[in-house]
Amino acid sequence: MSEAFTKSMARNIFYGGSLFFILLFLALTFDTHGTFPERTNTENLTEQVAHGKEVWEENNCTGCHTLHGEGSFFAPELGNVYTRRGPEFIKSWIKAQPTGAPGRRQMPNFDLTEEELDALVAFLKWADEMDTAGWPPNVEG
């Protein structure tokens, strides 16, 4: 076997395989970037949505929640919370925290202003309208 498989052959397989996977990686990257505008709902990005994302990040919401599968799994996935609960429920829920319900994890009260709540709801609505290819896999996240 060693007589038929030379160092030169191994090097050629390595270089050929590496080139193949680099080209495959580049093709998949270009294809993915080409679908971003239609999948990410960019036409609905507003100043309020951007502010909502700032509120999301400043309060470290991903420290407990996930959004489209990214973040911590301590609290529910919020990728489709706008569809599940609606804007008024989301705002009321955030204002009512912590609920003090025994035996349940408690979300802190962040003392968000009405403007910050509206912006956060706008951000969650925008995130909800993204094409996530079926994520989250069930209605309750």
CATH number of the domain bearing residue 130: 1.10.760.10
Q: What is the value of pTM for the model shown?
A: 0.77
pLDDT band at 141 (very low <50, low <70, confident <90, very high): low
Please check whether residues 79 and 26 belong to one and the same domain.
no
109 DSSP 8-state letter: P
Does 140 score more than 80 pLDDT? no
Contact partners, residue 27, CB within 8 Å, separation at least 6: none
Does 1 score more than 60 pLDDT? no
pLDDT tens digits for 79-99?
999 999 999 999 999 999 998
Q: Is residue 101 part of a domain?
A: yes
pLDDT value, residue 104: 85
**Domain assignment of residue 53, given as a range:** 41-140
Rounded average pLDDT over 20-46: 92
Residue 98 C-alpha from the chain's centroid = 25
Does 2 score more than 70 pLDDT? no
Closest CA to 61 of 9, 108, 12: 108
